[in-house]
Amino acid sequence: MEKPLVAIVGRPNVGKSTLFNRICGKRISIVEDMPGVTRDRIYGDATWCDYAFSLVDTGGLDVLNKSEFQQNITKQASIAVDLADVVVMVVDGKEGLVPADYDAVNFLRKYNVPVVLAVNKLDNYDEQKLYEFYNLGLGEPIGISSVQGMGIGDLLDSIVSKFKNKVSVDEDKDKIKIAIVGKPNAGKSSLLNRLVGENRVMVSDVAGTTRDAIDTPFRYNNKDFVLIDTAGIRRKRAIEPESVELYSILRSFEAIKRADVVIIVVDSSEGLSEQDVRIAGYVHEAGKPSIILMNKWDLIEKDTHSMNEFNKKLDEDLKFMDYYIPLYTSTLTGQRLNKVMETVEKVYYNAHNRIGTSVLNEILQSAILVNEPPARSGRRCKIYYITQAEVAPPTFVVFCNDAKLMHFSYVRYLENCIRKSVDYSGTPIKLIIKSKAEKDGNN
């Protein structure tokens, strides 16, 4: 059963993102004392009294503002409310009732959805400050302080009481998380919208439209996935210290860490840049399976050698991750996008593939017969056996007489031998060399 969805709405700077983070129990939405920081719908998972539900944060509603950017924010809020089972309308108890609150309520009246009224910023609780908010006609206002956590329990009690269906915490299945990363304006949000099949996040020609790492749940091939759209990652020197963009990029790196698969989106019309290589390097160091998605392929003037030429460039620049899988696509035309999720499933499987010890040792013995470990300082490294210790990334432990005798080039050779025998395309693998003394110590 699908979890109920709760949308948080309200005018700018009333504390919606702080409330979102408080309920989710972690900082997912960027909190800054300025309006307009949250632009897209930002999803998180929450639980209360054995109820599991999804929470969505939205941008500040300024319904009368007709600018293109504000209209996009209003559109995103409209989609969130339309999908929601319950809406939490947040107002500012410190500032009091203002005309923009009435505008937000009028916006909500178009939708047939239960609304809970949360009066935020009541750090020093005063019941009299709640009375004027009855004028909004949304029923009993609930006084809270998102910063201090005051009143959050009462608010959650009211929210879950309006659910038509209860989904318990145990029913929340693990989902495969896919982080979409890359430079600004490479087409990350367009890719997400194409995969999900709706305009879930804002798409604009203006670089930097996405600021938060945005979780979007969806189903593919009868499996549950979460797509994480991230802020474009620029070079450090181009980012102002302590800016919202800095926090957005840090969020992008956190998204990579919690992802099961990473899609690295590259603008084909610009080619693979130094920054693209840096991003790929970070994904590689994090041990994540990945796809190099060459987007905007429709903009390339092509002949029969175009893809080969691009592959040669990728081979040269991505030597450190020669296991990479490239996909040449266009989010504008939909070219080859049907291959994206198929490839995601493949690299996810490869990263979780576990090989039996007997098979591994056959691969090892064949490798040694072809090429013995070189001698160092008159001593030769003698390899005893190999076993797989972990998955995601696949991690192998090689036991030998002295780990110090094992040259890094031979470790690389063993990795290549494993890859020739087992399909580990799209995922890094790790080899750990241990001495016989370390082996004996573990017995």
In this prediction, residue 211 carries a pLDDT of 44
Q: Two tokens at 321?
A: 């991750």
β-partners of residue 422 are: none
Q: Two tokens at 342?
A: 């198929």
Cβ atoms of 178 and 261 within 8 Å: the answer is yes
In this prediction, residue 125 carries a pLDDT of 74
* Rounded Cα gap, residues 110 and 190, in angstroms: 28
Q: Can the peptide bond before residue 374 be classed as cis, meaning omega within 30 degrees of 0? A: no
Averaged pLDDT in 10-residue chunks for the chain of 443 residues: 81 92 71 46 78 86 83 83 92 94 94 95 84 94 94 95 74 76 88 79 48 70 85 53 46 80 95 91 95 95 86 94 96 92 97 96 97 87 95 96 92 96 97 76 48
* Rounded Cα gap, residues 9 and 104, in angstroms: 8
In this prediction, residue 54 carries a pLDDT of 83
To which residue do tokens 């998180």 refer? Answer: 44
In this prediction, residue 270 carries a pLDDT of 92
In this prediction, residue 251 carries a pLDDT of 62
Checking DSSP bridges between strand 395-400 and strand 383-390, what pairing results, if any? antiparallel
Checking DSSP bridges between strand 261-267 and strand 290-295, what pairing results, if any? parallel
Cβ atoms of 8 and 41 within 8 Å: the answer is no
Half-sphere exposure (Cβ direction) of 305: Cα atoms closer than 13 Å? 3
Cβ atoms of 407 and 442 within 8 Å: the answer is no
In this prediction, residue 98 carries a pLDDT of 95
- Helices 357-370 and 408-421: crossing angle, nearest 10°? 120
In this prediction, residue 198 carries a pLDDT of 64
Sheet of strand 176-182, all strands in order from the earlier edge strand to the far edge: 214-220, 223-229, 176-182, 261-267, 290-295, 326-328
Q: Two tokens at 103?
A: 């505008």
Cβ atoms of 20 and 159 within 8 Å: the answer is no
Cβ atoms of 320 and 346 within 8 Å: the answer is no
* Rounded Cα gap, residues 381 and 371, in angstroms: 12
